[in-house]
Structure 1
Amino acid sequence: MHPPIADFLGSTACEEVTDAEEEAFLLFSLAIPTTNLGFVDSRASSLDVTISGNEYTVHQSPTLLSSSRAGGTTGAVLWKITPRFAEWISSPTNPLWTHSLLSSRSVVAELGCGISALVALALAPSVQHYLATDQEYVRRVFRTNLDTNASVTSAGSASGQQKGSKTRGSSRSTSKGKQPSRTASNITFTTLDWELDQPELLKECIESQSSGHAGEDEGGEEEDPGFDLLLSCDCIYNEALVAPFVRTCADICRLRPAYEPSSEETSQSSLQPTVCIVAQQQRAPEVFETWLRETLREFRVWRLSDEVLGDGLQGGTGYLVHLLLAREKS
């Protein structure tokens, strides 16, 4: 029997990418909508967002965005790709779900989550645990958004229907929905410096409620320091960030066995490789090409097809989604 990842890669859901220059030329030769930097509204103190029929209020920090803080402030506001990606990744029609690469037992990590918490809020009700990471300045507003949206139900993600995400400015903050959700209880935020911190320690941040799946050897199962899914949504916009970003992705993915097609049916490990999904807005082709060239050294890369991305993320929208599987470390 083929493992789930082999079935997925053998489907029409993706196309392998082997040449960074060729991929950059192909993608950036398409007409791309003008979206400027990609903020939803960098001046609003809060925004109302609809994802899969659920209403969220997202608090922002325009003051922090415009500050001169060292280390960057781009995570202080909501970016346009985030609601679209949250809608797609949490949909039960997503091929990661239909090919059993994601399940209710999955442990997910996100790099550069930003303040909105939208991807965590949309996906966490359907998985065992969600670990969101970013710089320390994100923590307070991220927690505020978790608390504000604690009563949002997960009915939209259970319906299996993609309804399109919407955003609008809001002058006040209110919780939406009437039924309690377990969302916030299985979301953890921790800081992660791509250049200084040790990814192998990430699972120690997860609460004890998921410890059985997060690495303890219970019932004869092998110890698992890794994650089922690693997500990144719009973290690639500066060439200086590319090398530490790619290295961090590789270090996290290598906490699990690498993907080796020749041994996929004979592997002694019960752990599936960590699937890494990188979504990004199309901005500078040279930055994208730099990222992809660096990534191909550490990963095999597949571009997800329009068929599975849907209207919100397909080619021509100005957004890109690639799937990465770590190579064996040389």
Structure 2
Amino acid sequence: MTVQSLVRALGTPVQDASEETFELFAQDLPSQNLGFIDPRAPTLELAIAGRDLTIHQSPSILSSNRAGGTTGAVVWKIAPLFAAWLASTTTTTTTTTTTSPSGTTKTTASTTKRATTKSTRSNTPNNKNNVTSNSYNSDVTNPLFTHSLLTPSSHILELGAGISALPALLLAPHVTRYVLTDQPYVARLVELNLAENLPSSSSSSVSAAGGKNVAKGKGGVKSAKSVGAGVMGGGLRERVVFSPLDWETDAVTPSLTHSPGVSSFDVVVACDCVYNDALVAPFVDTCAAACRLRTVENSAAADSSVDGGDGGEGKRIQEPCVCLVAQQLRDPDVFEAWLERFGTVFDVWRVPREMVGRELGGEAGFVVHLGVLKGEVNLDEEDGEGEGV
């Protein structure tokens, strides 16, 4: 299984940004408001894929006038859905959200073998508990596992991760390295959420990434503090790293992998990062720069093989990097601007409902697109090998 087999299974790529936008927004989309789970609760109790998680967030930062944005300070509705799907190696994902007057919100996303559907709401003046419950089910497996693009040796980069670290918490058992990136203001809560929810083989919860410089901004090179950048193979905690990365000022470099001998990523993910016209260009440019690390690494491997380097054996050519972008459908103009620019550097596919599940399908108000840098896959290949998903 390969990237080629995956995109073949995905079908025809998106041909026109305006048509894709019209098709998605012409649906009868549910009201999601802004899309927060609970912007007032300092703590969320989440159960995802059989794991109970405690996630700390910051309503005060969200409501502040901090320059540079505050949206990463709380958890958005799409986050547990995307995390459960991304880490799904089995068949059914169920998500439940419960809010109580005490300020505690509990969201459950679990995986079972049997799909059922249940949706209930109880939020009346006579309801002392003021409980709102919603259950979501989808009998799908992440096709990146099916097509062997997520493996125990995979390196994942998340852009605009925010404070929750949910995809990292769920994927850590399945990959070698998960790198979370966002602006520095989320680092403290990322550290807290990782420390509380992932076992560590060491007593220290934070370490510097070997003193490496991972981002070069307008003001020069800065050394990034990293969460969980310990020795690999100890505990799940050591597999997850946080590095500050500003799309407008920082450069993506191979040292961002925080893994000796590894200079690129297998998968780049972003969840609910597209909500502002001004961020479209820097976001897409960062996605492209991150994926090009693999292109550069493969080019060097090919040159080494031709030149007889590495004892004449050369380095292995790896699969192209895949970029996954999940988002809530809010503003058609912003969405179309993103897709138009994204499509100039990536071949793009909408992940269909049968692969992404009902709760992340377009009719649910969410959508997932997959991009591969242009020229990395053969769009004309009609060979039938690897059709299964």
| Category of TM-score, reference length = shorter chain | 0.7 to 0.9
Across the aligned residues of Structure 1 and Structure 2, the Cα RMSD in angstroms comes to 1.9
**Under a length normalisation based on structure 1, what TM-score does the superposition of the two structures give?**
0.80
Which residue of the other structure, out of 211, 218, 221, is the alignment partner of 2:260? 211
**2:273 aligns to what?**
235
Alignment of 1:1-330 (within 5 A): 4-11=2-9, 13-92=10-89, 93-151=141-199, 182-203=235-256, 206=258, 210-212=259-261, 214=262, 225-257=263-295, 270-327=317-374
Tell me how far apart the structure 2 counterparts of residues 14 and 77 of structure 1 sit (CA, whole Å).
Answer: 35
CA distance in 2 between partners of 1:226 and 1:237 (Å): 27
Structure 1 Cα separation of the partners of residues 8 and 283 of structure 2: 28
Question: Alpha-carbon deviation of 1:6?
Answer: 1.0
Compute the displacement of 1:183 (Å). Answer: 2.4
Partner of 2:226: none
Aligned mates of 1:315, 1:306 — CA distance in 2 = 8
Q: Give 1:38 deviation, angstroms.
A: 0.5
Separation in 1, partners of 2:26, 2:7: 26
After TM superposition, the score normalised by the length of structure 2 is 0.68
SS in 1 for 2:19: helix
Q: How far, CA to CA, are the matches of 1:98 and 1:303 in structure 2?
A: 17
Distance 1:31 1:7 in 2: 33
SS in 1 for 2:173: helix
Q: Percent identity?
A: 49
Structure 1 distance, partners of 2:181, 2:188, is: 13
Give the superposition deviation at 1:74: 0.2
Work out which structure has the larger RCO, using CA pairs closer than 8 Å and 6 or more positions apart in sequence: 1
In 1, Cα distance between equivalents of 2:11 and 2:42: 38
SS in 2 for 1:72: coil
What's the secondary structure of 1:49's corresponding residue? strand
Structure 1 gaps of 5+ residues are 153-180, 215-224, 259-266
What's the secondary structure of 1:302's corresponding residue?
A: strand
| Partner secondary structure for residue 26 of structure 1 | helix
Shift of 1:314: 1.5
Deviation at 1:182, TM superposition (A): 2.8
Deviations 1:146-167 (A, max 9, x none): 1111259xxxxxxxxxxxxxxx
Q: 1:46 to 1:240 in 2, by over 3 A?
A: same
Paired letter, 2:249 = L
Give the counterpart letter for 2:57 in structure 1: Q
Q: Which amino acid aligns with 1:196?
A: T
Q: Distance in 1 between matches of 2:249 and 2:275?
A: 20
Q: Is this contact kept in 2: 1:8–1:99, CA < 8 A?
A: yes
Q: Does the Cα contact within 8 Å between 1:14 and 1:304 map onto a contact in 2? A: no
Flag the 1:75–1:134 CA change in 2: closer, same or farther, 3 A: same
Q: Deviations over 1:215-259 (max 9, x none)?
A: xxxxxxxxxx2100000000000010000000010111111229x
Q: Residue 256 of structure 1 aligns to a residue in which SS?
A: helix
Deviations 1:1-26 (A, max 9, x none): xx601111122x45410200000000
Structure (1 or 2) with the larger CA radius of gyration? 2
Query: Using the alignment, how far apart are the partners of 1:234 and 1:307 within structure 2?
Result: 21
Structure 2 counterpart of 1:263: none
